[in-house]
């Protein structure tokens, strides 16, 4: 039985630990803070590959594959843990005000010609789907296969599932050194002691670059702060995710509407700022005017791991045996977790590296 050390307990690390343990590996998962305390908590839980990756290519293909995996992945998680993750695949609306129709129509044409299930709506037709939308919206694209999940309940379910699978969970555990022997990574020194492993996977999000610098490996992963807010959905019966050019609204089944989000180049600063919060609120209120009367609930921020070319880094780290990387998912860690876990588990069990070629860390 292979032993595996997963460093980083966000949505990607938890998903990998769960998948690895299901395939018979002995897994230890370490997290320097709280489970999902960074990018995963800053997410709105959107499952929207057509919106996030408007151009054809391997990233869109990866996102669509992960979306196809989601229903069965969630069903198994919920059966295993008895917890609901509030998956909703009721579709997504991308809306346009007057003067914005051209870019929306161009995107729609590309995606329709590529065979994706997208539908052009007039402003009136969009309001028939979502009556709370502004009268100023003149057009929309409806993507009925996309949706969202409650990232908080998903994280809770994954922690529970890992525990039930026998994963050794070590929150509040800081890695001080990656151990090596003869060109191979053999585990890590941590505040919980020395942890030996046949395979080590770095899933430390915005901190992944710092982790690999311990071995003299340079990868272009940087933190980008995302500031997010939530208001009460009382009196605002929104059903679907609404995207506009300036922001998004994501209705949750727990009585919240999540609003977002900023993209701040602020280093490792994680605080919510007044400017950021103001930007989020003012950006989305024009889409649903009733938000002006919504009860404010909370605001928070997390650090998203952005890569040098916008694609995640998934695969073997060049120059070291036994060392792998799964990071750089930016604001799509929730969407891409199932497929990342599957493909990484395949790779660790002898799968072909060509399947992850577009995302190989060695491309840098």
Whichever domain contains 66, its CATH number is: 3.50.50.60
Q: pTM to 2 decimals?
A: 0.95
In this structure, the number of other CB atoms found within 10 A of the CB of residue 134 comes to 18
Say yes or no: 63 and 156 in one domain. yes
Q: How far is CA 237 from CA 132, 145, 256, 272, in A?
A: 7, 20, 11, 27
166 & 293 share domain: no
pLDDT for res 93: 97
Please tell me the total count of domains within the chain. 2
Q: Are residues 170 and 263 in the same domain?
A: no
Phi-psi region of 47 (alpha: psi -120 to 50; beta: other; left: phi over 0): beta
Considering the domain architecture, whether residues 61 and 98 belong to the same structural domain is answered as: no
At residue 44, the pLDDT reads 85
pLDDT single digits (tens) 349-361: 988 888 899 999 9
| pLDDT value for 25 | 97
**What DSSP element (H or E) covers 26?**
strand 26-31
| Burial of residue 90, with CB atoms counted within 10 A of its CB: 0-12 exposed, 13-18 middle, 19 or more buried | middle
Q: Which residues of the chain have pLDDT under 70?
A: none
Domain coverage including residue 315: 3-83+151-220+308-363
Whether 254 and 129 share a structural domain: yes
Residue count of the chain, please give it.
364
Q: Both 167 and 142 in a single domain?
A: no
Assess whether 54 and 176 both reside in one domain: yes
Residue where a domain terminates, one of 285, 306, 327: 306
Host H or E run for residue 95: strand 92-97
pLDDT given for residue 120 in this prediction: 98
pLDDT tens string 41-64 = 777 899 999 999 988 999 999 999
CATH number where 117 lies: 3.30.9.10
Same domain, yes or no: 268 and 334: no
């Amino acid at each position: 039985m292979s032993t595996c050390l997963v460093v980083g307990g966000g949505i990607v690390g938890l998903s990998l630990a769960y998948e690895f343990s299901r395939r018979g590996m002995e897994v230890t998962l370490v997290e320097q803070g709280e489970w999902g305390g960074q990018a995963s908590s800053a997410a709105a839980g959107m499952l929207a590959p057509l919106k996030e990756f408007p151009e054809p290519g391997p990233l869109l293909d990866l996102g669509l594959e992960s979306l196809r995996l989601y229903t069965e992945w969630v069903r198994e998680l919920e059966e295993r843990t008895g917890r609901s993750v509030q998956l909703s695949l009721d579709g997504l609306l991308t809306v346009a005000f007057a003067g914005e129709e051209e870019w929306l129509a161009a995107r729609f044409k590309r995606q329709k010609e590529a065979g994706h299930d997208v539908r052009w709506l007039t402003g009136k037709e969009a309001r028939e789907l979502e009556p709370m939308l502004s009268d100023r919206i003149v057009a929309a694209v409806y993507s009925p296969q996309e949706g969202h999940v409650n990232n908080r309940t998903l994280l809770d379910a994954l922690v529970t599932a890992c525990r039930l699978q026998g994963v050794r969970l070590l929150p509040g555990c800081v890695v001080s050194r990656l151990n090596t022997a003869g060109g191979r990574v053999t585990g890590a020194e941590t505040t919980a002691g020395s942890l030996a492993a046949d395979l080590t996977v770095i899933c430390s999000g915005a901190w992944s670059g710092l982790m690999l610098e311990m071995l003299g490996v340079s990868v272009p992963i940087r933190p980008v702060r995302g500031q997010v807010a939530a208001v009460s959905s009382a009196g605002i019966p929104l059903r679907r995710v609404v995207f506009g050019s300036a922001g998004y609204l994501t209705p949750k089944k727990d009585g919240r509407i999540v609003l977002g989000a900023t993209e701040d180049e602020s280093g490792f600063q994680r605080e919510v700022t007044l400017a950021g919060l103001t930007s989020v609120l003012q950006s989305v209120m024009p889409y649903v005017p009733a938000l002006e009367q919504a009860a404010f609930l909370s605001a928070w921020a997390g650090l998203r791991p952005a890569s040098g070319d916008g694609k995640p880094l998934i695969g073997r780290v060049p120059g070291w045996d036994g060392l792998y990387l799964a990071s750089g998912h930016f604001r799509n860690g929730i969407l891409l977790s199932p497929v990342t876990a599957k493909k990484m588990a395949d790779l660790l069990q002898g799968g072909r590296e060509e399947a992850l070629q577009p995302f190989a860390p060695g491309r840098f």
